Amino acid sequence: MNTILITGCCGFIGSHLCDFYLSKNYKVIGLDNLLTGSIENIKHHENNPLFNFIEHDVCDQINISDKIDFILHFASTASPDDYLKYPIKTLQIGSIGTENILKLGVKNNSTVLVASTSEIYGDPLEHPQSESYFGNVNPIGPRGVYDEAKRYLEALTMAYKNKKQLKIRIVRIFNTYGPRMRVNDGRAIPNFINQILNNKNITVYGDGHQTRSFCYVSDTVNGIHKLLNSDYQYPINIGNNDEYTILQLVNIMKNIVNKNIELIFSKLPENDPKKRQPNIKLAKTILDWNPKTSLKDGLIKTIDYFIKLNKFG
Ligand code: UDP
């Protein structure tokens, strides 16, 4: 039986990874310090003998005696609101936390997959963004703490591959959405759903013409699994390449719930990327991976989840 360690197991993507690997009968060890993750996200596994949750901060030394075959390093703050709130911790998780994980990987001869991000491309001057693009990041801007933490994570991971022969995988995750995002996470999709369901005005930052490409979480998880199973040891983009402006996103949501809600426009946050779309040629050819869920279908499932949370009366 394979044992997999998942850091950030109580977070949005981390908890879906737990579901996925438990459904495949892996022994899953989940690590989380509950800074931004929620124990509710893994509660349904509490009596599963294959699952072991350890409340622990990856920045502190990790002592696990079990033999670990695979590590998925997903611990991090991830929403712009969170990394503005915890700038130093965000940098520490990407640096000290990542090194602790890589050392554990060396000790166990594990395959270590680290979660990187489209944010390493910054406010990109190349469009769509392919893995060979070096990015346009402001290191001292408000998003710099996250962007540079993840750039360091990639550099450190490559150094462990080259100097310690660690088996590594690096996934650059583009905007992902779905059930278990936090209602108050601050990101566009949960914010808009929250506002629509509560009949509040929708907060659009800037003129709403900035773009993003949104991937449904089951597609992202599938891509991560395919990458783990491959032998590709360089960064690879995982994301949906259907690109929408924020105004288009709002309209699709309004049509799903059949409500006409007012928009209020406010200032675009500093260094907010104007465009984002992954080039996924590598994932298609190397991993035979393609996102399958349309934005409309994924939003229907996500909105349904938020309604069932029963927080909206
Ligand atoms: N955004 C917005 N209203 C909100 C939240 C976000 O207009 O209430 C915009 C944000 O400025 C950005 C885009 O939506 O241009 C996506 O933001 P998000 O926080 O989801 O993630 P990002 O891709 O910026 O990390």
pLDDT tens digit sequence for 235-272: 999 999 999 999 999 999 999 999 888 999 999 999 99
Which ligand 1 atom is at minimum distance from the Cα of 202?
Answer: 8
Mean pLDDT of the chain, nearest integer = 96
pTM of the model: 0.97
Q: Is the pLDDT of residue 302 over 70?
A: yes
Q: Is the pLDDT of residue 61 over 90?
A: yes
Q: How far is the CA of 254 from the centre of ligand 1 (A)?
A: 17
- Between helix 246-257 and helix 188-197 the angle, nearest 10°, is 40
- pLDDT > 90: percent of the chain: 96
Residue type, 240: N
Residue type, 300: I
Nearest CA, atom 19, ligand 1: 187
Active-site option among 26, 86, 121, 146: 146
Q: How far is the CA of 188 from the centre of ligand 1 (A)?
A: 4
Question: Do 16 and 217 form a contact (C-beta atoms < 8 A)?
Answer: yes
Range name among 91-100, 248-257, 302-311 with the lowest pLDDT average: 302-311
Nearest CA, atom 24, ligand 1: 272
Residue type, 268: L
Question: Do 213 and 244 form a contact (C-beta atoms < 8 A)?
Answer: yes
Pocket test for ligand 1, best of 172, 173, 207, 272 (most atoms within 8 A of CB): 272
Residue 260's pLDDT is: 85
Residue type, 264: I
Residue 312's pLDDT is: 52
Q: Is the pLDDT of residue 151 over 80?
A: yes
Residue 309's pLDDT is: 85
Check if 146 is active-site: yes
Range name among 64-78, 274-288, 299-313 with the lowest pLDDT average: 299-313
H helices of the chain, in order, are 12-23, 80-85, 87-92, 98-108, 144-164, 188-197, 217-229, 246-257, 281-287, 295-308
